[in-house]
Structure 1
Amino acid sequence: MQLPQFLQDFLKKGPAGAKKGLDAVATTSERGIWALKWSFIMLAITSALQVIVFFFSGSTALLADTIHNVADAATAIPLWIAFRYTNRAPTKRFTYGYGRIEDLAGVIILLIILASGIVAGYESIQRFYHPEPVKYLWAVAAASVVGFIGNEAVAIFRIKVGKEIGSAALIADGYHARTDGIASLSVLLGVIGIWLGFPLADPIIGLIISFVIMKIVWRSGKDIFTRLLDGVDPAVVDEVRASAAKVPGVLGVDRVRLRWLGHKLNAEVDVAVADTMNVGQAHELGEQVVAQLRQDVQYLTTALVHTDAASAAAHQHA
């Protein structure tokens, strides 16, 4: 789905996009906070409209969708806190800084989504045993369309900014909002079912939405916990290796270690250099490798390059 032109122009505003190097942390954090603020406002408005319609209609499917949208809006709070802490300087106790808080915020988001799925599923099952008539079908249908539009706009917003700043938590939250939009649109199917004389369509759709929520938890959970365990995309490792290898004077790239700290990527690279190089020359070459890595690798903020004489590197590799 493409956003209208005025919304596309809006996405280009706000804090600048992601930069490379050490100055990227504050800039990307501010952009993440900016995205969270506006997506929270959009989802709050969407949820408020749906709450009003549910109060008068009594639709279980709409209730499940509303609970999900409220939970989605609430996920902005732990992410906002995480982005704020990311800007803090490292300390003697937390020598790597506070970037890992963003990953912990992702875990909190998963728990919020999980809780919303359980509540929505419980309410849907209750309606099977205690059915109630759904009123104002036209309003429920309108609320489902509003929910879809609001969530899809937020999804595009969060995913775009999340990819710009390299935030797995914000990207996961964006895909969560996209699935919310599909769930909102499915409420319309419940309305059609009731209109055709099948009242159980409403709790059935509510139950389906609950299963969709659980699927989101599983998919997003894999990404979040991969980062918590210092997992990275193998393609990024290959990118780092290729970038270091093309620096003149580098005879080989041995060990490459990467880790995400929130939306910051840290690298440790061992390179082999000529045996004839003195300490000063090896150090200068290491600085060239760092500069090349920052130029080629997106989201990289810190790189530690260790140089070994080619003969020693070959012995260690063996």
Structure 2
Amino acid sequence: MSDRNTPHEHGHGHGHGHGRLRTLLVRATHSHDSADRTDTALESSSQGMRVLGVSFAVLMVTAAAQAVIVALSGSVALLGDTLHNVADALTAVPLAIAFSLGRRAATRRFTYGYGRAEDLAGIVIVVVIALSAALAGYEAVRRLLAPENVQALGWVAVAGVVGFLGNEWVARYRIRVGRQIGSAALVADGLHARTDGFTSLAVLLSAGGAALGWRLADPVVGLLITAAICFVLRDAAREIYHRLMDAVDPALIEQAERIVGTVEGVRRVGSIRLRWVGHALRAEVDIVVGHELSLVRAHAVAVETEHRLIHELPRLRAATVHTDPDGPRGVDHHAVLSGHRGLAGGRVSLSTASRRRRSGRRS
């Protein structure tokens, strides 16, 4: 018996008020969990906005300090690093827009809400990192062909250290909170800040080399830093690509399987799918229950399955639970769908899968 209910409410005592049942699928939503999920979503977005505001301020202060030294030294390399830090601070703009959009309620057109705006912001950030790498490489080659002397090397070195420290602090802050709230875009932006820190170190190292009389120190170090930026670009692009392709950590699937497998009434765990919508997870779960269970009892098992998943799987906001009956022997409850299941991302009906497992045990 496979059924899904329209959203309903229940308290922690697990008394279930059942609304009108539709088709043969079970869908359960808890009123108290919905409130918790909304609060969590708003808190995550608030954390993201807080990170963006603080990091923007830190980077602008860093750039301002470097600008003063640019005026004193006339260092073109430091000027480039200063402008780079300003650009990095401005990447907070698309992310702030994304976090603001993510707070908007779902509509009949955008039924999952606006959380994926973060992924679009992530694409913008990856493009900015790529442009940074291209600019750094161009400047390094230009200086290699036409070396330039740098004045006030001591102050330039200090500015390089200030730039590195400011960017590294921002990078750690963004990456830590981004991973905490599950925002790939914020993590990518943190990696971008780290590339700017490398650029600042290039200024420091080039100043040291110039102080030793090596005029090519600036462009050679710049080329090495460009290569380092390309590695960071690869990591950021891979992070966003995985998010756009709905990739999740396989460990999360294994954790979800363990959680579902411990729910009373679940005989077997079928397919489990997870996807990110912004910095929140959504799940689709197939479970096998006894075919002798009543519709109400099968529904209760599905409700408890979602309840456990929401409370025990990090950053999960909602789960759609589908129940399949275990038996009677020889009955295929999904026969009418047999010609369509192959199109659904490789999903195999549980009744078919269970028959395969039983035939494998007999052989």
**What TM-score does the superposition give when structure 2 sets the normalisation length?**
0.78
What is the aligned length? 300
Which segment is superposed worse, 126-135 or 86-95?
Answer: 126-135
Partner in structure 1 of residue 351 of structure 2: 315
2: CA distance between counterparts of 1:24 and 1:303?
16
Partner in structure 2 of residue 243 of structure 1: 259
Superposition pairs for residues 241-280 of structure 1, below 5 Å?
A: 241-280=257-296
2: CA distance between counterparts of 1:96 and 1:187?
46
Sequence identity of aligned pairs in percent?
A: 46
CA shift, 1:291, in A, is 1.1
CA shift, 1:27, in A, is 1.4
2: CA distance between counterparts of 1:277 and 1:150?
61
1: CA distance between counterparts of 2:279 and 2:41?
8
Name the amino acid aligned to 1:217. Answer: L
Provide, for residues 58-105 of structure 1, a one-character-per-residue CA deviation record: whole Å limited to 9, x for no partner: 445434433432232121111100000001111111111111110010
Which segment is superposed worse, 200-209 or 215-224?
Answer: 200-209
Partner in structure 2 of residue 200 of structure 1: 216
Stretches of structure 1 that go unaligned for 5 or more consecutive residues are 1-18
CA shift, 1:205, in A, is 1.9
CA shift, 1:242, in A, is 1.1
2: CA distance between counterparts of 1:37 and 1:270?
42
Partner in structure 1 of residue 315 of structure 2: 299
1:48 pairs with one of 54, 58, 64: 64
CA shift, 1:133, in A, is 1.1
2: CA distance between counterparts of 1:91 and 1:51?
46
1:157 pairs with one of 163, 173, 181: 173
Note if contact 2:73-2:152 (Cα within 8 Å) is conserved in structure 1: yes
Partner in structure 1 of residue 37 of structure 2: 21
SS at 1:21's partner residue?
helix
Provide, for residues 27-68 of structure 1, a one-character-per-residue CA deviation record: whole Å limited to 9, x for no partner: 111110011000011011112222332344344543443343
Partner in structure 1 of residue 186 of structure 2: 170
CA shift, 1:20, in A, is 6.3
Stretches of structure 2 that go unaligned for 5 or more consecutive residues are 1-34, 328-332, 334-348, 357-363
2: CA distance between counterparts of 1:218 and 1:315?
42
Note if contact 2:265-2:301 (Cα within 8 Å) is conserved in structure 1: yes
Name the amino acid aligned to 1:48. Answer: A
1: CA distance between counterparts of 2:248 and 2:179?
15
Question: Given the superposition, is the C-alpha separation of residues 206 and 64 from structure 1 closer, same or farther in structure 2, using an over 3 Å criterion?
Answer: farther
CA shift, 1:207, in A, is 2.4
1:142 pairs with one of 131, 140, 158: 158
Note if contact 1:125-1:203 (Cα within 8 Å) is conserved in structure 2: yes
CA shift, 1:170, in A, is 0.9
2: CA distance between counterparts of 1:211 and 1:55?
29
- Asked if residue 33 in structure 1 is aligned to residue 69 in structure 2, the reply is no
Note if contact 2:126-2:188 (Cα within 8 Å) is conserved in structure 1: no
Question: Given the superposition, is the C-alpha separation of residues 252 and 20 from structure 1 closer, same or farther in structure 2, using an over 3 Å criterion?
Answer: farther
2: CA distance between counterparts of 1:89 and 1:314?
34
CA shift, 1:128, in A, is 2.1
Note if contact 1:154-1:174 (Cα within 8 Å) is conserved in structure 2: yes
CA shift, 1:245, in A, is 0.9
Could you say what the CA RMSD is over the residues aligned between the two structures, in angstroms? 1.9
Note if contact 1:67-1:120 (Cα within 8 Å) is conserved in structure 2: no
2: CA distance between counterparts of 1:215 and 1:238?
30
- Asked if residue 131 in structure 1 is aligned to residue 147 in structure 2, the reply is yes
Note if contact 1:65-1:206 (Cα within 8 Å) is conserved in structure 2: no
Provide, for residues 156-214 of structure 1, a one-character-per-residue CA deviation record: whole Å limited to 9, x for no partner: 21122112211111122223323432442342221111111101101222222222222
2: CA distance between counterparts of 1:62 and 1:245?
58
1: CA distance between counterparts of 2:197 and 2:146?
28
| Higher normalized helix content (fraction of residues) | 1
* Bigger Rg over Cα: 2
Partner in structure 2 of residue 81 of structure 1: 97
Partner in structure 2 of residue 12 of structure 1: none
1: CA distance between counterparts of 2:72 and 2:133?
23
1: CA distance between counterparts of 2:74 and 2:190?
29
Partner in structure 1 of residue 299 of structure 2: 283
Partner in structure 1 of residue 342 of structure 2: none
